[in-house]
Structure formats: C-alpha cells, structure tokens
Chain A
Amino acid sequence: MRILIVEDDAALARGVMGGLKLAGYAVDHVAAGEEAVRLERAEPYGLVVLDLGLPDLSGFEVLTRIRRRGSTVPVMILTAREAVADRVKGLDLGADDYLLKPFDPAEFEARVRALVRRGQGTPVPELACGALRYDRSTATVTLNGRVLDLRKRELAVLEGLITRAGKVVPKDRLAGEVFGFDEPVAPNAIELYVARLRKKLEPDGPQIRTIRGLGYLMENA
C-alpha cells in the first residue's frame, strides 16, 4: 500500500514516514502542493496525508484539485489549524479525516489503516482468502492458524492481491502500490516478491497466478 505525505515541515514528514514505513507502507513525501497534485494523478496511492499550510497552494486547494478530477483516494488532513471552520471546510471539500497536530502516532496509524481499508472498499480489519487470514490492524498473516513470517514487501504484495482476490491486478499497478519513489526498484523486483510470497503460501495457501501480459490474480478458494 502506497501513501503520499504532503507536508512542508521536513522533520515532521520524516517522523510520519518513519512510522508508516515501519508499518509496511510505501511512502512518498512532497513538500509543495503543485507537486502533490501532479503525483497523486500519476501514482496509485491508497491514501494522501495532507498538510494545510503549504508554501505554494493551500492544502484546501490541493484537495479541491484532487477531487475535481474525480479521484476517490482517501485523504487525511493533518494540520495545526484547530478552528472548527477549517475542519468543516476540509471535510466538506472531500477530506475523509481531519487530525490535529500534535497527534498520537498510534492513533494516526490506526486512522491510516481505517482510511486505507475504506479506500479498498473493505472496511473489515481482517481479510481472508481460503485458509489465509490477514489481520490488517496488526499486520499479521496466518495460514491455517500458523503465523507466516512475511517481509514488508511481501506483505504489501499480499495486501494488493488479497484485497482484490479473484481479480486481475495489473503488474505495474501492484508495483506502484508496493514501492515508493525514493526506493530503488529493479525491473523484475515485483516478480521476485511474488515468487517469494508464493513459496511462503505453499502448500495450503491460495494460488497466485500469473496472467501473462496482464498481471497477477489470487485465486479465491
């Protein structure tokens, strides 16, 4: 799952990104509004965390532009502006959540998970596919009750596939969700992670099928 952080305070952005990366998300950071709008259009983000006080465009303007294009990406406003009028405006412009600085990192991450779930149309915290269970609040994967030891990327691939189980997930979209911008990605990296994931799901997990020319599909059990 990939998240865009729009925040002009570099130190805060580093802190937020650190927490989200630890939780297994791929995170991109921009400090200006124009760039945020451009990136959001180009990349398949599962969530945008938006500061309101940006140097060029205001956060409200960024939000307006994102929504005007018809994007349904979940947006969390993360700001120091506490006025009720600002909260109302932000939510009315299409934000899904409004969190005031300073915030508890644990609460922030819980809200991120909730928004991501909503964005995928699956608000249940636990996803299942056959004998495979994925608890998104604790990021634990079990297969027939046995806890699987998945690396961060493998978990991201699994999440991208299990939320759309039974459907084809295009390869570049999956890659877009798994990797952030600042991460060096080998051309066949996604294949590598899919292969590792397959191995770990054997023998009783769901099959991940390669649909040549289209992408991957996790079979419904």
Chain B
Amino acid sequence: MAGTRPERVPSLRRRLLTRLLVPLGALAVGLGAGGSALIHGFVQSTHDRLLAGSTLAIAERLAVGDDDGEVTVDLPAVAFGMLESQARDNIYYNVAHEGGVITGYLDLPLPDIHAMPANVTVFRDASYHGHPVRVAAQVRRLYGVTQPVLVQVAETTAGRRALEVDLLLWLTLLEVALVGGSGMLVWGAVGRGLAPLKRLRRVIDARSARGGMALVPLPLAVVPAEVLSLVVAINGLLARLDQSIGTMRRFTADASHQLRTPLAVLRTHLALLRRYGTDSAEGRAALDDVEGAVKRLERLLVQLLALARADEDAPVVPAAPEVADLLQVAMEVAAEQVPAALAQDVEVHFEGPEDGSALRVAGNAVLVGELLGNLLDNAIRYNRPGGTVTVRVGEGMGAGPMMEVEDDGPGIPEAERGRVFERFYRLDRPGEPPRTGSGLGLAIVRALADRLGASVRLDAGAEGKGLKVTVTLRGAENAAGSKALAAEGDRG
C-alpha cells in the first residue's frame, strides 16, 4: 500500500469520508439553524408566559376607589416572585391610567393603549436604558373608570440569551459528536469492508513470493460481491496474458529451433572449409552450403521482424483512417517479385480491374503491400519450375475489395489449411526434397490481415490444382461503418 499511489486518486476511505461527512455536516448546520430558531421560540414562549403571569397578577390587583374613583394597585409579592429565578435580569413595571403613570417606573415607555385589545397580554421588544427588554402589557377596563388601565412588566433579556446560548451549545456538541462518531464508524467500517481485498492481496503476494509467473485465476471465494466483476475481469486478463506468454514462449522456442539448424550447417561446413580450403571442389560445395545457410538465417531474421511488426499492438483502425490504392500497391509488389520468380522459373501474371480504376481500401499501404508480398513470396517459393502465379485484384463479391494470389504448385491439402497459419508450421511433402521456407510466411499474412481487418481464405486453385489465397479487405468508403465488424470478425 505504501508509497507510489498516484496523488490524483484519493483513497477509498477519504472518498467515503468526504462523501459522508460533507453532507452530514451540512445537515448538522441546517439542523443547528432550525434548532436555534426552535430554542429561541421555546425560550421566548416560556419566559413570556412567566412575564404574562406577573402582568396578570398585577392586573388582578387593580382596584377603583369607591369614593374618589381613583385607580389603585396593591402590588402582590408573587407578581415578581415568579420572575426571580432569573437573578441577573432586571424587572421593570408600571401601571398607567389616563396617560399618567400611577405606580412603577415612570420612564418605561407606554404603548398606544387604544390600539390594544382589552384583557389580552401583548408582548413587544423594546429598549430601556440602553438594554433590550421584553415587555408584556395588558389593558384592563375597570368598572367605574372610563379610561382603560395599562399594566406593563418588562424584563431584560440576558437570562433568555444565556439559556438559548446554553441550549444551542449543547445542540452543537451533540451534532459534532454525531458527525465525528459517524466519521470514526466509517473509518473502521471501510477498513473492515476492505479486508477481503487485503486477503486477495495476500494471495497475490504469496504467489509472487513463490516466484515465477503464476497466472492462475484469483480465487473468487474470498471476494465480496461488489468487486467480483473486477476480479473476474482481472482473471480474464490473467488468462489472456497467460495465453500470450505461452504463445511467446512457443514462438521463442520455435524461433531458436529454426535458428539451430542453419547454425549447425554453418559450423560443419566451416570445419570442412578449414580442411579443404576454398580451392577444391569440396571446399566450393561447402561454400555454397554456407551461403545457403546464411540466406536462410537472413530470411528467418527478416520474417521474424516482419512478424514482430505485424504483431505490434497498434489499433486495428488507426486514428486517422488511411486509404491505400490496392491496384497501385499490388502492381508495385508484383513487379518487385518478378525477378525472384523468374530465377525460380516461375511466371507472374497480373490481372487488375478491366477499366483500370483505382481500388480504394482502408488501411496502410505498406501493410497491404507487405501482406501481398508475403503471399506472392510463398506462391513463388513453393511452386514448381515452369509454374505460374497469378495476382488478381478487384472489387470482391460485395464484401469489399479483394486480392487473390493463385498458383499451380503443389497446393495445400484441405485438412492442413487451418494449420498453415500457425507459426513455424511447415508442410512436409513426402517424396519431395525438404523446403527451405521458415514456416512463417502465412503466419505473417494472418497477423497483417488481422491488423488490416481483412479476411483470408484458402482454396484450391483452378481445376483443383495449386493454391488460391483470397484476401478480402475493407473498402475505404464503408470503413467507418464496418469498424466493429472488422475488429471482431475474421479473428477465428
């Protein structure tokens, strides 16, 4: 786990924590806001009730003098007793009648009495001596006086604030504990949830420790359902890797096998040359064999390189679609091969489209040329003296432009046609001298065809003699549409 994790991808734990804690925190802030409003309302209403109680207690003691009609109030102790619990708060009160204060604080401001309903406690926020106060006021109509009487009790708000802050603090603490606790739970749960992956890692570590490439599928039993598809995909990759390493090993073994014989030829004949010198008939014969062996090695090298190039992991369809003129490429390649063919007493015929129009195919011209070159080389090399090789290019039967190389040589028995595409597979024909081919020609053709998205077909030549190889390429016009088709077809 240590060290080289790319920085841009945060850990699973961090992702989960972020995804969980950010919304949870936002929720907590929202709840806190709502909570603070609730607390405010709750504290206000509780305190207001007490304030209203004390206002009511004073109002209940209002009396009108029988004789003089004076309004009097007998302030009850209980009126302020119920407010006493908030020791820090100051209480102010007054009773007013006919615009004048009868008793209490003279400067406690008076509301507009006439706008107020009778016998109902009305609350308001006000300021008194520079301090905010909450005022409860009630208007009473007393029997015997015409003007209503106002009773007011005010209280500074420090107690309310303190209680609100206190409650809010507790709420906040609870929320912090909730969010923090969730974070810790997630932290632990991620660790426990990832335990199967750690087990998987140990399985892989154990394999690496044993050395070698153990490309055996990973066990699915230890894997939780969520990563099952991932492990299945990895197993698929392992299988393909195993297969391609196997192919590579076989290829290396085959290649070294192919190299050994010409090298042995070189060594034995060089030893002979050392004894005979180059002047004798034996020496000259040995020189011929040395030269032949060197040619074989050269050709083998060229073909191995061609195969490696054809095998490159290039995209089947290049980014910028390339277009080649099949007719021109084929004519050039065929012309190039004519001297080699004549040297083997083989004739090369070329048949293009009758109107001589260009054949646009999708793909790189060099690849197309190399494909045809290998087919032609095969047809010439494995032909008989006096044989004929015909190269044909044209619009195929609907599938796309095609090129065909037909010879009248020994052909390939139908049963062998599937195998000749294998690397280093060589046909041995009893009763004929062994061939000097490397067994790579058709393997190269297959690899190139795969890259071009072309299909290759082997048939007997005309009148059942020889071999006819038909390559169907993708036309340049419909290349885009048949991308997917070409990529998945023709591989079998």
Report which of B258, B260, B269, B293 forms a contact with A18, defined as CB distance below 8 A: B269
Which residues of B lie under 8 Å from residue A82 when comparing CB positions? Answer: 253, 256-257, 260
- Closest CB-CB distance, B2 to chain A, in whole Å? 41
Report which of B253, B260, B265, B269 forms a contact with A100, defined as CB distance below 8 A: B260
Which residues of B lie under 8 Å from residue A105 when comparing CB positions? Answer: 267-268, 271-272
Q: A10-B433, A32-B430, A101-B261 are in contact. Are A19 and B268 (CB under 8 A)?
A: yes
Chain A 51-88: CB-based contact to B (< 8 A → 1; otherwise 0): 00001100000000000000000000000111100000
Q: Is B184 an interface residue (CB 8 A)?
A: no
Q: A18-B282, A80-B260 are in contact. Are A11 and B272 (CB under 8 A)?
A: no
Q: Is A42 an interface residue (CB 8 A)?
A: no
Q: A11-B289, A55-B428 are in contact. Are A16 and B268 (CB under 8 A)?
A: yes
Whether A80 lies near B265 (C-beta < 8 A) is no
- Closest CB-CB distance, B272 to chain A, in whole Å? 4
Whether A12 lies near B272 (C-beta < 8 A) is no
- Closest CB-CB distance, B240 to chain A, in whole Å? 25
Specify the chain B residue showing the minimal Cβ separation from A100.
B260
Whether A103 lies near B267 (C-beta < 8 A) is yes
Q: A80-B261, A100-B260, A102-B264 are in contact. Are A15 and B430 (CB under 8 A)?
A: no
- Closest CB-CB distance, B283 to chain A, in whole Å? 10
Q: Is A186 an interface residue (CB 8 A)?
A: no
Number of A-B contacts (CB under 8 A): 82
Report which of B260, B286, B430, B434 forms a contact with A102, defined as CB distance below 8 A: B260
Which residues of A lie under 8 Å from residue B253 when comparing CB positions? Answer: 82-83
Whether A11 lies near B256 (C-beta < 8 A) is no
Specify the chain B residue showing the minimal Cβ separation from A78.
B264
Q: Is B487 an interface residue (CB 8 A)?
A: no
Whether B260 lies near A15 (C-beta < 8 A) is no
Specify the chain B residue showing the minimal Cβ separation from A20.
B268
Q: Is A129 an interface residue (CB 8 A)?
A: no
Which residues of A lie under 8 Å from residue B429 when comparing CB positions? Answer: 55
Q: Is A114 an interface residue (CB 8 A)?
A: no
* A101 vs B266: C-alpha distance when bound (angstroms): 11
Whether A18 lies near B265 (C-beta < 8 A) is no
Which residues of A lie under 8 Å from residue B210 when comparing CB positions? Answer: none
Give the contacts of B50-66 with A (CB-CB under 8 A): none
Q: Is B277 an interface residue (CB 8 A)?
A: no
Q: Chain B at the A interface: mostly helix, strand, loop or mixed? A: helix
Which residues of A lie under 8 Å from residue B433 when comparing CB positions? Answer: 10, 31
Whether A15 lies near B434 (C-beta < 8 A) is no
- Closest CB-CB distance, A142 to chain B, in whole Å? 23
Which residues of A lie under 8 Å from residue B272 when comparing CB positions? Answer: 15, 18-19, 22, 105
Whether B265 lies near A22 (C-beta < 8 A) is no
* A106 vs B286: C-alpha distance when bound (angstroms): 17
- Closest CB-CB distance, B279 to chain A, in whole Å? 16
Whether B286 lies near A9 (C-beta < 8 A) is no
Most chain B CB neighbours (cut-off 10 Å) among A10, A14, A19, A32:
A14
Q: Is B12 an interface residue (CB 8 A)?
A: no
Q: A55-B430, A103-B267, A105-B268 are in contact. Are A14 and B289 (CB under 8 A)?
A: yes
Q: Is B458 an interface residue (CB 8 A)?
A: no
Which residues of B lie under 8 Å from residue A106 when comparing CB positions? Answer: 271
Q: Is A104 an interface residue (CB 8 A)?
A: yes
Q: Is A8 an interface residue (CB 8 A)?
A: yes
Whether B286 lies near A18 (C-beta < 8 A) is yes
Chain A 109-126: CB-based contact to B (< 8 A → 1; otherwise 0): 000000000000000000
Q: A55-B434, A56-B430 are in contact. Are A15 and B269 (CB under 8 A)?
A: yes
Whether A15 lies near B257 (C-beta < 8 A) is no
Specify the chain A residue showing the minimal Cβ separation from B434.
A8
Chain B 234-272: CB-based contact to A (< 8 A → 1; otherwise 0): 000000000000000000010011101111111111011
Q: Is B32 an interface residue (CB 8 A)?
A: no
Which residues of A lie under 8 Å from residue B258 when comparing CB positions? Answer: 80
Which residues of B lie under 8 Å from residue A18 when comparing CB positions? Answer: 268-269, 272, 282, 286
Which residues of B lie under 8 Å from residue A56 when comparing CB positions? Answer: 428, 430
* A55 vs B269: C-alpha distance when bound (angstroms): 23
Give the contacts of B393-431 with A (CB-CB under 8 A): 428-430
Which residues of B lie under 8 Å from residue A12 when comparing CB positions? Answer: 261, 264-265, 268
Q: Is B275 an interface residue (CB 8 A)?
A: yes
Q: A14-B285, A15-B272 are in contact. Are A80 and B267 (CB under 8 A)?
A: no
Which residues of B lie under 8 Å from residue A80 when comparing CB positions? Answer: 256-258, 260-261, 264
Which residues of A lie under 8 Å from residue B434 when comparing CB positions? Answer: 8-10, 31, 55
- Closest CB-CB distance, A99 to chain B, in whole Å? 10
Q: Is B292 an interface residue (CB 8 A)?
A: yes
9 tightest CB-CB pairs across the interface, nearest first? A15-B268, A55-B428, A80-B260, A102-B263, A105-B271, A101-B264, A102-B264, A101-B260, A11-B289
- Residues of chain B touching chain A, judged by Cβ–Cβ distance below 8 Å, are 253, 256-258, 260-269, 271-272, 275, 282, 285-286, 289, 292-293, 428-430, 433-434
24 contacts between A and B (CB under 8 A): A9-B265, A11-B262, A11-B265, A11-B289, A11-B292, A12-B261, A14-B285, A15-B269, A15-B271, A15-B272, A15-B286, A31-B433, A55-B430, A56-B428, A56-B430, A80-B257, A80-B264, A82-B253, A82-B256, A82-B257, A101-B260, A101-B261, A103-B264, A108-B268
